[in-house]
Chain A
Amino acid sequence: MDNALVPVVDANMARLTITYNGQQGDLPDAVPYDMTDADLKQVATECVHNGDIPGIDADNDANFVDFVVDRFPARDDVRFNRLSLRPKTPFGV
């Protein structure tokens, strides 16, 4: 990725990538990196309901129950924090 083309994201903020219904997109605005999983899911739900995520069709039934958040701190080659909201994958009791 060419970081020169990436909008500046404050050190305490993060880019949130959402995967839903076979589609993937980033929230247009940065979110606090330490936002709780529950709050991130609430933001994602409202944004998908409203069709605010480029790349993800609006869906009034969207819900992120049993989704999890992966957190990736900034590093040399990706100079901003990233959050990824994806389905959980455990099996068993």
Chain B
Amino acid sequence: MIETAFVFDIEGKIIYWHEPHGRSGGSLPDSRSLWLVLWENKVRLGGVAHSHPWDGPADASHTDITTFSAVERGLGKNLIWPVVTMTEISYWLLNENVGEYQCLHPDWVNFDKESWMKNIKELRQKSQGGNHG
């Protein structure tokens, strides 16, 4: 099992697969390359999905939340941050009224459901591989 991520546009279409050197079953390292992808695509950017390659709740870690916040401050825009386990998906975004990241109900995610779930399936498949770091 190995953490994996993809960057997607505002329609949920994949822009970039993030499978950096040094990733593990529990983390994806800091990456200037990922930042450059986000910056170069900031206008059409929808968010970044990443896997937690195990079964169970798709909670965001402290590292995840602080990355969400830093990237959004850098880009000057709010994104959707799906966290994907092998059994669940949660869609995190900033609730500006309370200043906290909260889960968005999946019904509010208006991507084409069929193609989006295909992306999620591929993310899970890529997360089942060995540690290539």
The answer to whether A91 and B27 touch across the interface, beta carbons within 8 angstroms, is yes
A-B complex: 9 closest residue pairs judged by Cβ atoms: A22-B76, A92-B27, A87-B70, A66-B70, A87-B74, A21-B76, A91-B28, A90-B30, A87-B71
The answer to whether A89 and B26 touch across the interface, beta carbons within 8 angstroms, is no
Cβ distance A27 to chain B, nearest Cβ, rounded Å: 16
Report Cα–Cα, A19/B50, bound state, in Å: 24
The answer to whether A92 and B28 touch across the interface, beta carbons within 8 angstroms, is yes
Cβ distance A13 to chain B, nearest Cβ, rounded Å: 22
Tally of contact residues, A, Cβ under 8 A: 20
The answer to whether A86 and B32 touch across the interface, beta carbons within 8 angstroms, is yes
Cβ distance B126 to chain A, nearest Cβ, rounded Å: 14
Q: Which candidate, B8-16, B60-68, B104-112, is the interface stretch facing chain A?
A: B60-68
The answer to whether A68 and B74 touch across the interface, beta carbons within 8 angstroms, is no
The answer to whether B3 and A91 touch across the interface, beta carbons within 8 angstroms, is yes
Cβ-defined partner of A19 (8 Å) among B24, B74, B77: B74
Report Cα–Cα, A88/B74, bound state, in Å: 10
Report Cα–Cα, A68/B71, bound state, in Å: 11
